[in-house]
Structure 1
Amino acid sequence: MKDLNDTAEAAFRFASLMVGLALAVLVGWATWWVVRYLRADAMTRQSIRQAVRIRRGWKRLAPMLKLSATDKTPTALASLANPEGKPIRPRVLIPALKVVHDAYGVIARANCLPGIGLQQFQKAAPHLADAWRCTRVAVTQDKPGQVLIRGVRLDPLKFPTEHLPTGDVPDETARWDLGLDEYAQPVSVNLTQVPGVTVAGLPGFGKTSLINRLLSDWAPSPAVQFACADGKVSAAHEGDYADWVQRMFAFVGDDLDEANKLFRHLVELRRARSASVRQVLGVKSMWDVGPSENWPLVVLIVDEAHTYFRDHKGSDPQTKKLAALAAENARLVEDLVKKGRSVGLLTILTTQKSTGDAIPTFIRDVCPVGLSFAQKTAEAAVAALGEEIREWPDANPINLQDPTYVGVASMNHQSQPGFTRIRTPYVPDAEAALVAEQTATLTTDPYALLEAFLGLPMTDVDFTKLDA
């Protein structure tokens, strides 16, 4: 009897210990949750409450939206528990849902069921937005058998953002981080094997800020060198790139003759690289090995490109000279865009309205990546993004003229159909200037690098022998 009492007492103590541990874990979890909630900002608190409501109501909401499946086959346990052979009630299966929050809304992952997959969730997306009190909901494939549901309560495009460059060398040399899309997801574009990019939009809506982000992120890499032709200014100390000139191996203003010299210099670099790429790198395309300090990716920024390509009308000698220079500039930049990809030349052209008179179509139409900030006319939107933009009215840049959308651009993203809108961040001038100053010592003319490798001036190199 004593042994029995001892056993019961030990069992009671063990049970009490387990209950105590469970209560401690519960209290710890509750404390952690409350502290996290109290430390969150007002927007994130709303998202936390929203996520709780979604989890709590999911089992009831899913069948209403036909996101459940009926299993009429009884389980083995149900069959064993039914010796009298009565009809067994079918089971209603609800997709498992895991929900996390952020400042803008929620991100949910749901498991698929037989007959309930990506298509069914996408069809239900508008109703999920209503039930979850979201501005919009998007459903994409996360992985086989699972969908990703992104719901935003607040429109990320309406909230200006700021980017503080780290000054670190980027992990991927040719990846351009652009900002956040309309679901507050980061958007980047891979510029590997891309010869040209066009950026259009009304003045003051974010074109230069977009380029500033690229310069701030890429400047710390010695495997990238920059040149710039800025049609808005006459001297290097003027305008938006005044701080960046120290990180550029070449810079010209609105002088067409000076721009012609720069474009010609880069075409000579392109020819020299094309002729020597096999000897220097041992491959046909620089992208087979990637940019390096000795063979850097060369980024040419042509800001307000219409300055250099505009067709000048007139019969006086000065106008004829300007017309000839503009035509020659267009021919040279065409050479860079059409032939510079494999040897590591990237041309970025910005203008207010990328119609054929601003960026000749034989240049614009071979640039695979295009972005557009606000536009006033449908013609300008089509010129910037192509005819297909007419089929995506929500993403059309003519809808971005409100001051709220300064810094928002539309683009045809590489990884998904159609068009997406992006909130590009603002880089404070002081931060950009600091990166430019810290990385100025990395600036080198890539033409000089190639001359140093070959051991003699380019003018003395027999390119026919190099090709052989």
Structure 2
Amino acid sequence: MNVEAVTGYAPVALLTVVVLVSVWLLVTVVRYLRADRGTRVSMRQAVRVRWGWVRLARMAGLTVTDKTPSLLAQITAQKDGATPAPRVLTPKIKVKPDQFGVIVRARTLPQVGLEEYQKSARFLADAWRCTRVSVLPDGPGKVVIRGVRSDPLTTTTEHRPTGRPPVDLTRWELGVDEYAAQVCVSLANVPGVTVAGVPGAGKTSGVNKFVCDFAPSAAVQIATADGKVSQASEGDYADLVKRMFAFCGDDLDEANALFKRLVELRKRRSATIRDVLGVKNMWHVGPSPEWPLTVLIIDEAHTYFREYKSSDVTTKRLAALTAENARLVEDLVKKGRSVGILVILISQKTTGDAIPTFIRDVCPIGLSFAQKTVEAAVAALGDDIRNWPDASPVTLQDPAYVGVAVMAMQGRPGYTRIRTPYVSDADAARVTEDTSHLTADPDLCLDALLRSTGRTAPPPPPLAK
């Protein structure tokens, strides 16, 4: 190709470059204008992070000196007769902004690995003007650096339910952690969940989100016992009751009847699961409209389990009821996992006098919103919370932390603080109204399933008196 030909292509190449740069600039400007205020600040922050990375990495000790010259440097040195200068290698990064800050994905180098990044986290936070910075592994030879400019824990968020069935019925999305990362827990093979916290800390709101997210699925059926009210039209669940196949208030006889009903369902499922589903554990095939995940929510759980001490006839009868309630719920928690029964127990304090320890200690997931005493935090999260005072729910008593919970996450050291989003009453009413037609009694679902398969269930054994 001669010089004239190359010169002829130059204007075309230059025009192509100009067009591509113009398109890139246009896309960037549109993204910037459409972004919310926090994301715009993060986009400007991301530019500063990229431009200042080489200098910052050297100052933070995140570079390595390579004394072995490259092949090109060796050839040049042989021609000039000079000794090649050592190279300073800087990790390559990719920066992504979001509402709360930046996510930086970086490469590791020899002698600059995960530990070195973690040691420099505080310095990076100051340089990037972030509230906090975390460094986690992101695969072999990679790390992800999360810098948050504003604290997600004190930033109130609102969740608007979509009304669409969840893609994964085993995934419970709780909210975001202190680094604005999504936090979810698996419900597969989970028999029980405990939720603790002082009044007004956000317990019921967190459970409302659970109901609204799972209500659009016919493979989930919910029953509730609310110890704060006397009837369904009162209290926090008035807007949700249309999506519940059973509800009772603080009446101990009604609660006892509900718990017995669910224990009988558990026994029927245990007796038929192999013949109907072909497995011993429902979670091997997952919930379905014919065999739905059955969730029992027990709010103000201490109402149903408290010990009554007196010799008069009325008190003795109440004491017998609460003792039987504890035994029935224990049956559900200890034996209901494999047949698809989940119990969520909510109480201000999950101490042994509020929720019996033989129930509480079987529940693998425990959340605690704000607490006033260390003893209440230990009851909710375990004795190890004493070793993590910065994450203790005792530190969440400020009004800015309403809706923030603490839990131990599998695979993470220590405890995680989570900002749970608020669901408005109007959205909750809308979702339950639109999905009320999906409400079904799990007992009737099991009857229909047995008829369709041509099988009959053996009668459940009588409850022990």
Band of TM-score, shorter chain: over 0.9
2:366 aligned with 1:370, yes or no? yes
**Correspondence for 1:203:** 199
Contact 1:375 1:400 in 2 (8 A): yes
Per-residue displacement from partner, 1:400-455 (whole Å, max 9, x unpaired)? 11111111111111242211111111111111111111111111111122233334
Q: Secondary structure at the match of 1:82?
A: helix
* Aligned-residue offset at 1:38: 3.6
Distance 2:393 2:227 in 1: 24
Q: Which runs of 4 or more aligned residues in structure 1 lie more than 4 Å from their structure 2 counterparts after TM superposition?
A: 7-10
Instruction: Identify which of 19, 36, 40 aligns with 2:14.
Output: 19
Distance 1:455 1:130 in 2: 67
User: What are the equivalent positions in structure 2 for 1:309-324 lying under 5 Å apart?
Assistant: 309-324=305-320
**Correspondence for 1:152:** 148
**Correspondence for 1:262:** 258
Q: Secondary structure at the match of 2:138?
A: strand
Distance 1:151 1:48 in 2: 13
Distance 2:69 2:309 in 1: 84
Which residue identity does 1:122 align to in structure 2?
A: Q
- Give me the TM-score of the superposition, normalised by structure 2: 0.95
Per-residue displacement from partner, 1:311-345 (whole Å, max 9, x unpaired)? 11222111111111111101110111011100100
- Of 404-413 and 38-47, more deviation after overlay is shown by 38-47
Q: Secondary structure at the match of 2:225?
A: strand
Give 5+ residue unaligned stretches, structure 1. Answer: none
**Correspondence for 1:293:** 289
**Correspondence for 1:117:** 113
* Aligned-residue offset at 1:349: 0.3
**Correspondence for 2:90:** 94
Contact 1:276 1:463 in 2 (8 A): no
Distance 1:314 1:380 in 2: 27
Instruction: Identify which of 336, 345, 364 aligns with 1:349.
Output: 345
Q: Secondary structure at the match of 1:314?
A: coil
Which residue identity does 1:416 align to in structure 2?
A: R
Instruction: Identify which of 136, 156, 164 aligns with 2:160.
Output: 164
Change (3 A) 1:324 1:60: same
Distance 1:167 1:45 in 2: 30
**Correspondence for 1:78:** 73
Distance 1:22 1:307 in 2: 72
* Aligned-residue offset at 1:15: 1.3
Which residue identity does 2:29 align to in structure 1?
A: V
Distance 1:430 1:416 in 2: 36
Instruction: Identify which of 321, 327, 341 aligns with 2:323.
Output: 327
Distance 1:423 1:410 in 2: 9
2:62 aligned with 1:67, yes or no? yes
- Give me the TM-score of the superposition, normalised by structure 1: 0.94
Per-residue displacement from partner, 1:93-150 (whole Å, max 9, x unpaired)? 1000111101111000001111211111111111111111100001111121111110
* Aligned-residue offset at 1:8: 5.5
Distance 1:286 1:460 in 2: 17
Contact 1:267 1:336 in 2 (8 A): yes
2:26 aligned with 1:31, yes or no? yes
* Aligned-residue offset at 1:310: 0.7
2:333 aligned with 1:337, yes or no? yes
Which residue identity does 2:123 align to in structure 1?
A: H
* Aligned-residue offset at 1:159: 1.1
Per-residue displacement from partner, 1:269-299 (whole Å, max 9, x unpaired)? 1111111110111111111111111111100
* Aligned-residue offset at 1:29: 2.5
CA RMSD of aligned residues (A): 1.9
Distance 2:26 2:260 in 1: 67
Distance 1:192 1:174 in 2: 5
Contact 2:107 2:141 in 1 (8 A): yes
Per-residue displacement from partner, 1:337-374 (whole Å, max 9, x unpaired)? 01110010000000001111111111111100010110
Q: Secondary structure at the match of 2:179?
A: coil
Which residue identity does 1:318 align to in structure 2?
A: T
| Percent identity for Structure 1 against Structure 2 | 63
Instruction: Identify which of 424, 433, 437 aligns with 1:428.
Output: 424
